[in-house]
Amino acid sequence: MKGLKKFWNSFEEISAGTFFFAGITLIFYGVIMRYVFNEPKAWVEEVVRYLIIWGSFLGFAIALRYNQHIQVDILYDKLSERGQKILDIFATSV
């Protein structure tokens, strides 16, 4: 089971990076085709939109798994351990 979880985590991280890299590469391709060759490609913008969205979703999941999402520490540090757990549950559910 640990091997499957490790494989899935690696797959998720590689997929998120690949989606972002492919999106950036396609943006570059679209700009070159539009302004250098004067041949704009209509499909580039839509494909990039979906790649960036899915890369973001996977990135959010990875950040949540490693507890690296953005949080405000001013209030969090002043709470008791029980209060911190309640705030974590609330923030995760939102």
Which pLDDT tens digit goes with each residue over 4-59? 999 999 999 999 999 999 999 999 999 999 999 999 999 999 999 999 999 999 99
**Whether the model pTM is above 0.75:** no
Which pLDDT tens digit goes with each residue over 45-54? 999 999 999 9
DSSP H or E run through 63: helix 43-65
DSSP H or E run through 17: helix 2-35
Per the CB < 8 A criterion, the answer to whether 91 and 55 are in contact is no
